[in-house]
Each structure stands twice: as C-alpha cells, then as structure tokens.
Structure 1
Amino acid sequence: MLLLAIFVALVVMVCLNVPIAIALALSGVLGLYVSEGPGSLVNIALDMYDGANKFSLIAIPMFVLAGAIMNATGITRRLIAFVAAMIGFVRGGLAMVTIGVSLFFAEISGSAVADVAAIGSILIPEMKKRGYGGPLAASVTSSAASLAIIIPPSIPMILYAVSAGTSVEQIFVAGIIPGLLGAAGLMGVAYWFARRYDLPVESAFQWSQLRSTFVSALPAFALPMIILGGIFGGLVTATEGAGLAVVAAIVVGLWYREVDWRQLKEAMLDGGIQTAVVMLLVAASVLMGGFLTRAQIPQQIATGLLDITSNKYLILLILNVFFLVIGFFLHSAAAIILVVPIIVPLIQQAGIDPVHFGLVVTLNLAIGQQTPPVASVLITSCSIAKANIWEVSKVNVYFVAVLLAVLLICTYVPQVPMILVDLFYR
C-alpha cells in the first residue's frame, strides 16, 4: 500500500510539471519517513552527495564539452564535406550524408540531442532547399541522431553501467555492431524515400573532391581513433577517454584556427545545464533507491515475475515492452536512473548478462526519443525543420521500424552485439 501511495504521489507531481528529479527526491523522502521514521532522514544530504560522486559520471560533461568544441571549431563542417564527397553521388545522398555524419559525431558527443542540434542546424535547411519535405528532413536527422546513444561513447550507457554496477567499456563495445546495423538500415530507408520522391543526386563522384575533403578532415579523424582506441585498447578508462576527447578536440580546433567563441559559449552553457539536470537526477535517485532497497521491492518484483516464467527470452520480451512504454514518457536518463536499480535483481536471477541487457535498455530508450509525447530528439529536430511533430511522426515510423528491428535482433540473437565483447574481454 505504501509503495502504491508513493507511486501515485510521484505520478501526480510529474503531471503537475514538477521536475522529475525533485519529484523523485520527495517521493523517496516520503517513503523513508513513513517506513522508518524521521531518524532515517538525518543523512539524506550526504547520501545524495555520495550517490552523485562517482568517477564514471565525470565522463558526461566531458563528452558534452567535446561535442561543443567540435561544433565551434569547424570540425563538424569538414566532416559533412567529406561524407558528402564520398556518398553524395547516390540519389538522396544528402539524407545519407546526415546519417553518416551522425555516425561519426556520435563517437564524440554521446548525446542524441547534441547530435541533432549540431547536425540538424546545418543539414535540415540544405535538405529542404533540395526538395526534401520538412517531415522527411526532420525524420532522417532525428532517427540518425539516435545512433548517438547506441554508438560508443554513450551517456545513457554510462548511466546504465553506474546504476547496474557493470563495465562501461564492455557496454561501449557491445554498441558498435548494433550502431552500424542501425546506420545501414536507416540509409536503406532513406534511399527508398529518395527513389519514391525522386530526390536529387548531390554531385557526381570525383576523386579530386574526395581527396581534398579527406585531407581537410584528416585531423578530425584522429578524434575517434584517440578516444575509442584508448578505451578499447585498455590504455584509459571511459572517464579518462572523455577527458582525452576534450583535449583532442581542442588540439584539432586550434589546428583549424576557426573558433566561434559565441557558439562555444552557448554550447558550454547548454551542456552545463544538461549535466546539472542529470546529476540532480542521479542524486535524487539515491533516496528512492534507498527506500526501495530497504523495502525489498526489487527482490519482490523479481520473485513475482520469475514465478510467472523463468524463460529469460520471455522475460526480455516483457522488459522490452515495459521500457518502450517508459520511453514514451521519460527521458533516457530519468528512465535509467529510476528503473534500472529495480530491474537488476531480476536480470541477475534470470541469468541475463547485464552488459547485453544494458544494450537492450539503451536501444529501447533510443526508440523512446522518437516517440511522442516526450520524444526529446524528435521535438528538437521538428523545431529546426519548422515541421509539425505529427506529420513528422508519420514519416519517422519507417525509420523507427529499423531501430525496432535492430532491438529485436540484439535481444534474441545476443551473439550479434556480444561477439566483440566476448572477443576482447572474455
């Protein structure tokens, strides 16, 4: 009964537009007060501080800052030029350029919202000029940006690893193949739309153009090699790799000698706000987590579900549906922090690999970013394209179908995402 009352209180506060972090903290405090009395609240400030004071979480502002530096120093523009020279000769090539650049940008920023804001502000107006409808331009950019939380490094993956107590590096590696599969599938859908609407070819393929743009973008190619090479090579942790990303982005930016200080300042402020929101969520989740743990709620849920079925694939199906629904209403950070600690005992008892499950969670939340009413990435893309969200959603459903296909493959053929993890770490 107490759990139901706290859940209702949480839902009411969220519906009243109370920030999720505040609602979560108040619900946790209420649960502790009612179940254990006022003495349990003495150390809540220290508990919240300790919960947010984790080394792995430092990677979040570092990756956000690295993405901001990329945008302000001309790195993103050079990457677009190179990818355009490489695949712009294909019909509808500008849509594929968007997907290709998102694939690269994802390896630096780890944030889908940062991805769609950076790339969409450049490429959506260009697509509209070339005859792409606003809904199609917004859909391509939005769905491609979701690769940013599948391809490593990924901020939701970091949050999951911290919440589940598992390896950040292994989850990063598990995301590589699904990210590439997703990019290929999105390009296939983009080509189908290009044929359907007779979209233009950008330019004829020219070796000279490819060579010149490659040379111009060459310093930028060092960024993923330094970051991912260092992490997967065991030279640095994911958090240290985030620091390397910032240093490398600064060095490459200085090499280009193009710094938009105004844009950099705005991006850093936005990144600081995003980081503060996430850290407050993490701190608030400690209070709710403390109440749930002491009340043995996660263990009861695990026992109840295992009484229904012990088949781990059926359990994964149930959890997939659950996280897809959660993704409709919660941002990825809030969903991970609120739900994962409750689910971890269940996946442990069901014999599900926590790294594999982390990828499943991440893919579900990537889809959630594309589905209203919350749909943070889709809304950002619609805002840039000046397109109606429901018109965009009618087109975007084809791209979301690709992400759903990747989710099903990764859920029920775990060898696909886990082959690299097994190769490098087991």
Structure 2
Amino acid sequence: MMFLIFIAMVAMICINVPIAVALAMAGVIGLLLNEGTGSLVNIALDMYNGSTKFSLIAIPMFVLAGAIMNAGGITDRLINFVSAIIGFIRGGLAMVNIGVSLFFAEISGSAVADVAAMGSILIPQMKKRGYSKELSAAVTSSSASLAIIIPPSIPMILYAASSNTSVEQLFVAGVVPGLLGAGGLMIVAYIFARRYDLPTEEAFNMPRLRETFMDALPAFALPVIILGGIFGGFVTATEAAGLAVIAAIVVAAWYRNVDFKHLRQAMLDGGIQTAVVMLLVAASVLIGGFLTRAQIPQQMASAILEITQQQWAILLILNVFFLVVGFFLHSAAAIILVVPIVIPLVTAAGIDPVHFGLVVTLNLAIGQQTPPVASVLITACSVARANIWEVSKVNIWFVGVLLFVLFLCTYVPAVPLFLVEYFYR
C-alpha cells in the first residue's frame, strides 16, 4: 500500500500538482485506507497545529531581515568592504562574491534569497570584467548554498522541527563546515582565475580598507546579534530572528538609503516563500501521521539494521539516499517528507541527531546545485542568462568542494560538533 501511495504522490508532482497538495493528498489517502473515514475528523486541526510551532516563526523573520538588509544598502557596503580585503587577488571579484555570501547567509538563511540578491549585483559586474557567464553563475550559485549551511538556516529550522532537535545546536554545528566550504570555493575560484587570466580588482590599500570597514561597521552588528545571542545562550533562534529584523531596520535607517520599492517586492517574495514552506509543513503532518501509525519508519529502520549495524555504512546509505532525493525535491520538501522516516533509523544506530542534521543540510545544499530541480542554480542561470547545462559543467568543480565538506563532516564528526561540544555539552 505504501508503495502505491508513493507512486501516486510522485505522479501528482510530475503533472505539476504543488508538492504540498500532493503530500496532503497522499496523507489523506493513506489514513483513509489504513484507518477509515474516522481518521479524517481532525485533519484541519492537525495541520494547523503542525504549522504553528514556535520555532517556525524564525523563518519569516530571517527572510524579512534579509529583505531589509538588501533594500537598505547594506549589501553594497559589505561588497565594498570584502573587495577591499581580497580584491587584490587574481579573480578577486569571484572571491568577493563568495565572501559576501558568507555575510548575507548570516542574515537571510535562504540560498534562493542570497543568489537573487547577490546575483543581480555581482554577475553583471563579473561579466564586464571578463568572467564567462557560466563561471559567474557557477560561483554565485555555489556560494549562495552557504546560506543553508551557515546559521541561521531555514532548512535547519525545519529539520529541528521535524526531528525534535535543538535548532541552536544545529546552528552552531554549521559554522565550521560553512567556513570550510567558503575556503574551498575560494581556492577553486582562484584556480579558474589563474587558468583564464582573470583580473584583480584593485591594489591593496589600507586607507581604503579602513574607510570601507567604518562604512560597513553598523552592518556587522547583524551577525554579531544573531550568532552572539545564540552562542552565548542569551536568546533562542526564534528570538534571534526577531532581533535580526529590529537590527536590520535600525542599520538601514542609519544609512538612510532604503529603497522602499525594492523592499516591498522583497517582502512580497519572502511572504510567498514563507507561505510555501508553511503549506509544506502543514501537509507533512498528514503524511507523517500516516507513516507513524503504519509503523513505516520503524520497519525501514529494522530492515536496514538487519543488513548492517555499522554507523559508517548507515551514514553512507543515507548520504546516497539524500543526494538522490536532492535531485528531485526542494530542500524544505525533502526535509519534511524524508526526515520523519529516517529518524528512527538514526536513533537506533546511535547517530547524534545534530550531527545527522548537518549531514542532511549539506546534502540538500548540493541538491540545490544539481538538476533537474536545482532551485538555486536555476535562479543564478536566469540572472546570468546562461544555459543550465553549460553552467553545470563549470559548477561541478564547486560542487566537488561541497561533496568534500559533506564526507569530511560525515566521517569526522568532530568537525561540525566541536563548537557544539564546547558551548552546550
């Protein structure tokens, strides 16, 4: 029965039925066949309760903070500052792109928001300076996926809600892998710059660095408030999201450079993005209820544990599984659909749920770069007006960096968990 329901759900998605609707219909069909019409009485209440968890409030807050940041001229000042630091290196503009994504990731938590904001500014500049449109799109796309690795991260919030894991610990676990990923992407960008003799941006100039630092100094308050508050244990992730919005408003007002038209459009886009996620969360309650009552996750866990009980082998199986899922599902849908199924297996195998959450997030960051879904890559290609398959030929080297970080974090748990152990255990 489960197989037939899964086939029906995939068929609905293939004919462009919205994923949330397909999930909800699959859940309703499963409950109806498994328990009869009596199980459908509380559907609306269950969906409402599932989508109103306190931790989920952080999602629209971080999206709004990112919109205010971009519309308030904060992004431009960060670009100027990062350019003053590393613009003298060959291919410096590509590295600026990656470096600014690090800052933007610490505000928005959304890779699509990152690539839309950064790409519209930096891709045209890269093309003017001799970068191919394929390389410009690849750098922008791959660096944008840092937004779901470095805190705050919307997929991490969804994972925490789906697995009853601490979102604060997940955020802390993402710091070191995110920095490693950024460093690796910069190395690949430098190799491309040497190969194609790409230009430097400007000679290193200490007065220029000092000037751009002072200009961007108020913007640095945003990651300090978010990460400092969470790391210090002063606020929860949701409270940090609210503080980020207030801080973004204050900093934008300080610069007196708010583009209200841009802000309005960004807020509308963020509202739509949040609504889509919340519909997915609500729909997941139905499919999750059916799976739990039918004991599907427990059966799957038992079947795999009968094959092997070695953690490394189970992690390898789950990595391959999530990489394949990432080809076909957006990160939010993948987490909501798959995590409740595999959590019993993770628990039975003795795998730390925070460690596994970081592994899932890295897998889905790679999924954002791999067609056919590849939401972030498609957005970057749209901005650069480049063919997705041509961009993918270049992007494969940057995806290789993300794969390296994934397997490093999978089999050396100390990499993501070092800071978690220091702050929380």
TM normalised by structure 1 equals 0.99
Q: Matches of 1:171 and 1:331 in 2, distance apart?
A: 20
Where does residue 382 of structure 1 map in the other structure?
381
| Alignment of 1:36 onto 2:59 | no
Residue 312 of structure 1 is matched in structure 2 by: 311
Deviation at 1:393, TM superposition (A): 0.2
1:58 matched to which residue of 2?
Answer: 57
Is 1:85 the counterpart of 2:76? The answer is no
Moved over 2 A (4+): none
**Which whole-Å deviations, capped at 9, do the CAs of 1:17-41 have from their partners, x for residues lacking one?**
1000000000000000111111110
Q: Which residue of 1 aligns with 2:24?
A: 25
What CA deviation, in whole Å up to 9, does each residue of 1:352-391 have, x standing for no partner? 0000000000000000000000000000000000000000
C-alpha distance in 2 between matches for 1:202 and 1:173 = 34
Task: Output the aligned Cα RMSD.
Answer: 0.4
Specify the alignment match of 1:198 in structure 2.
197
Give the structure 1 partner of residue 172 of structure 2: 173
Match of 1:210 in 2: 209
2 CA distance for matches of 1:298 and 1:278?
A: 23
Q: Please give the alpha-carbon distance, in whole angstroms, between the structure 2 residues aligned to 1:185 and 1:208.
A: 29
Following superposition, the deviation at residue 122 of structure 1 comes to: 0.3
Aligned counterparts of 2:359 and 2:84: Cα–Cα separation in 1: 34
* 1:362 matched residue in structure 2: 361
User: In 2, distance between residues paired with 1:390 and 1:227?
Assistant: 37
Provide Cα deviations, 1:190-242, integer angstroms capped at 9, x if missing partner: 00000000000111010111011011000001110011111111111000000
- Deviation at 1:4? 1.1
Counterpart CA distance in 2 for 1:203 and 1:93 is: 9
For 1:416 and 1:33, locate their aligned partners in 2 and report how far apart those are by CA, in whole Å.
45
Residue 224 of structure 2 is aligned to residue 225 of structure 1: yes
SS of structure 2 residue aligned to 1:321: helix
Partner Cα separation in structure 2 for residue 419 and residue 87 of structure 1: 28
Report how far residue 130 of structure 1 moved. Answer: 0.1
> Secondary structure at 2:131's aligned position in 1?
coil
Any unmatched runs of 5+ in structure 2?
none
1:8 aligned partner, one-letter code = I
Shift of 1:103: 0.5
Which residue in the other structure is 1:278 paired with? 277
Opposite residue 229 of structure 2, the aligned amino acid is G
Residues 19-418 of structure 1: matches in 2 within 5 Å? 19-418=18-417
> Aligned partner of 1:138: which letter?
A
Deviates more, 1:187-196 or 1:225-234: 225-234
Counterpart Cα distance in 2 of 1:264 and 1:201: 33
Q: How far has the Cα of 1:280 moved from its partner?
A: 0.3
Aligned-residue offset at 1:178: 0.3
Q: Residues of 2 paired with 1:215 and 1:418: CA distance?
A: 34
Deviations 1:282-332 (A, max 9, x none): 000000000000000000000000000000110000000000000000000
Corresponding letter in the other structure for 2:197: D
Opposite residue 5 of structure 1, the aligned amino acid is L
Aligned equivalents of 1:149, 1:35: Cα separation in 2:
37
Q: 2:196 corresponds to which letter in structure 1?
A: Y
Q: Aligned with 1:217: secondary structure?
A: helix
* CA apart distance, 1:53: 1.0
Paired residue type of 2:24: A
Give the SS at the match of 1:151. Answer: coil
Separation in 2 of the partners of 1:5 and 1:95? 47
What is the Cα deviation at residue 120 of structure 1? 0.7
Give the Cα–Cα distance (whole angstroms) in 1 for the partners of residues 10 and 225 of structure 2.
Answer: 44
Q: Deviation string for 1:100-122 (max 9, x for gaps)?
A: 00001100000000000001100
Pairs aligned (count): 425
Distance in 2 (CA, whole Å) between partners of 1:338 and 1:397 is 27
Identity %: 77
| Amino acid corresponding to residue 223 of structure 1 in structure 2 | L
Question: What amino acid maps onto 1:171 in structure 2?
Answer: L
Task: Find the residue that maps to 1:364 and give its secondary structure.
Answer: helix
Q: Distance in 2 between matches of 1:219 and 1:415?
A: 34
Cα distance in structure 2, aligned partners of 1:11 and 1:99: 36
- TM value normalised by structure 2: 1.00
Distance 2:376 2:289 in 1: 31
SS of equivalent to 1:180: helix
Shift of 1:5: 1.2
